[in-house]
Amino acid sequence: MIEVKEVARRCQARQGLREIARETGLDRKTVRRYAEALKALEVGADAVLDDALVHAIAQCVQARPGTELSPERATLGAHRERIVAWLSEKRPLRLTKIATLLARDHGVEVSYATLRRYAMDELGFGQVKPTVRIVDAPPGEEAQVDFGLMGELIDAETGEVRKLHVLVVTLNFSRYQFVWPTYAQTTEAVCEGLDEAWRFFGGVLQRILPDNASSMVQKADPLEPLIVPAFADYVQARGLFVDAARVRRPKDKGRVENQVAYVRESWWAGERFGSLEEARASAKHWCREIAGMRVHGTTRARPRELFEQQELALLSPAPTARFDVPHWGKAKVHPDHHIQVLKSLYSVPTKYIGREVRVRADRRIVLVYWGTELIKTHPRVAVGKRSTDPNDYPSGVAPYAMRSVDQLLARAQKRGEHVGRYATRLLGGPLPWTTMRQGYELVRFCDLYGDARVDAVCKSALDFDVIDVPRIGRMLKHAIRVEDAAAENGNVRRLPSAPRFARAADLFATRNEVE
């Protein structure tokens, strides 16, 4: 454009062709063609040489008539829709196969080179699809999150060689980033790494854009991704919103995707770390002093300085306490009123037996939900232990299920003074659970024979220091038989309330004879 405009300007100044060619370094024949174009377009000496006019002058000289299509290209044009359909299938056909099908089924004999040129010129075959550069989020709004594999590191605790991953968190606006080395990619590792990132940045952003790792996204969907419940608890606790990237769409999080290779090359390559803690300390220093202070190729600014100037003041306060990552799951309520959660047992009310409930368990507490209703709360117990609320059992069953000695003693005392004393002697040993069945049998005797009879027999047994419930039962049966026989003879004789002796007690005492 500059050369054409210079020739036109000199022609307007009425310079000769030889002079123009000598001063511009162009061929005299080329200068003549441009002069003829000026004459054909009727460009006067006072005409303004704008871009449109210069372009028109150049087209008069440089434009060439298009070549005529060969018969093979014309034939392929007649089958354009068919070729497009073959190239648009879920698994597109190769051009060699398309050439075979055209020749066999449609009688189109063309060379592969002709077919390839036609597909490239007319159908855009093999060309890179155009992309659109998405505008960056405002400062303090978005952080992109991704995992990357660095290599292998010896675990200082076990001595094993383990794969080392890094959680990379890159701020969209300033490109300031944080790198957190870890052995695992679990939800706990993600929450720990994000909390460390917020403490590193000095605050929490509004939104994170992660990939579809199973530790964060339970079900990927372009519009409504399902977040892992434990991770959903975390983002709610930190006031974050999650905008998960689409499956196999790395450009959705391009700000962090292209940083994984940079982290591997600049921080990890060639380094030797003695432990995971040493690697984490090195990664923080690298993020702050090396990656954070380089001149970024896109923003042309130092990420750390840009972050401190425009983003830091917009962040929410960083968390101070560690997030207790919960366990979410489903459990069936068994006939014994208990559910199993992380190898421990927790009781649930009777009406939920046989149903499937949803459970949330953290380090301190276990919450049981039926739909959206919280139906039970338990303190977290160790593996193999159980937490049972007696109120979950049906009325009257809880004391038996809980083996409550105090409850059994209270029931016995209500039946009579001596029954209560007898039960106290019975259950007063070092192992009361071993005699609880006899205690329940004693209370049952009161239901069968009446409180008065049992109380009288217990008084007699206590006088003789006989603590034997089966013997109490035999004494009661014998007394009933005696009463029945007396009733038949018309002489009703009741069981005495206290034992009687035919002789005085001093007759049975042992005395030494004095000579």
131's CB contacts (< 8 A; 6+ apart) are 251
In a domain, 133, yes or no: no
Same domain for 193 and 273? yes
Contact 197/180 with Cβ under 8 angstroms?
yes
Contact 242/226 with Cβ under 8 angstroms?
no
Among 102, 100, 95, 97, CA closest to 79: 102
Which pLDDT value is given to residue 515?
46
Domain boundary among 266, 285, 314: 314
Which pLDDT value is given to residue 394?
83
Same domain for 389 and 409? no
Same domain for 195 and 284? yes
Question: What is the rounded average pLDDT of the residues 75-85?
Answer: 92
Same domain for 173 and 271? yes
Residue 367: band (very low, low, confident or very high) from pLDDT cuts 50, 70, 90: very high
Domain boundary among 62, 87, 113: 62
Question: Which ranges constitute the DSSP H helices of 397-499?
Answer: 398-402, 405-415, 417-427, 436-449, 451-463, 469-488
In a domain, 320, yes or no: no
Residue 514: band (very low, low, confident or very high) from pLDDT cuts 50, 70, 90: low
Among 236, 237, 241, 219, CA closest to 228: 219
Check pLDDT > 60 for residue 331.
yes
Angle at 53 between CA 50 and CA 55, to 5 degrees: 105
In a domain, 368, yes or no: yes
Same domain for 98 and 188? no
Same domain for 157 and 304? yes
In a domain, 500, yes or no: no
Full residue range of the structural domain in which residue 352 is found: 327-393
In a domain, 22, yes or no: yes
Check pLDDT > 90 for residue 399.
no
Which pLDDT value is given to residue 222?
87
User: Mean pLDDT lowest for which of 49-63, 256-270, 296-310, 417-431?
Assistant: 417-431
Angle between helices 2-12 and 17-24 (to 10 degrees): 150
- 285: CATH: 3.30.420.10
Same domain for 279 and 385? no
Same domain for 261 and 310? yes
Task: Tell me the C-alpha distance between 47 and 475, whole Å.
Answer: 138
Question: What is the rounded average pLDDT of the residues 268-294?
Answer: 96
Residue 36: band (very low, low, confident or very high) from pLDDT cuts 50, 70, 90: very high
Q: Model confidence over 221-259: pLDDT tens digits?
A: 988 899 999 999 999 999 999 999 998 888 889 999 989
Same domain for 292 and 355? no
Same domain for 156 and 280? yes
In a domain, 458, yes or no: yes
Same domain for 425 and 460? yes
Same domain for 271 and 386? no
With tokens 């359909």, the residue in question is 85
Q: Taken in order 342, 343, 349, 353, is the CA torsion positive or negative?
A: positive
In a domain, 499, yes or no: no
Domains in the chain, number: 5
**Tokens standing for 421?**
């004393």
In a domain, 294, yes or no: yes
CA dihedral 102, 107, 111, 112 (to 10 degrees): 10
Check pLDDT > 80 for residue 371.
yes
Among 491, 455, 454, CA closest to 474: 454
Domain boundary among 264, 287, 314: 314
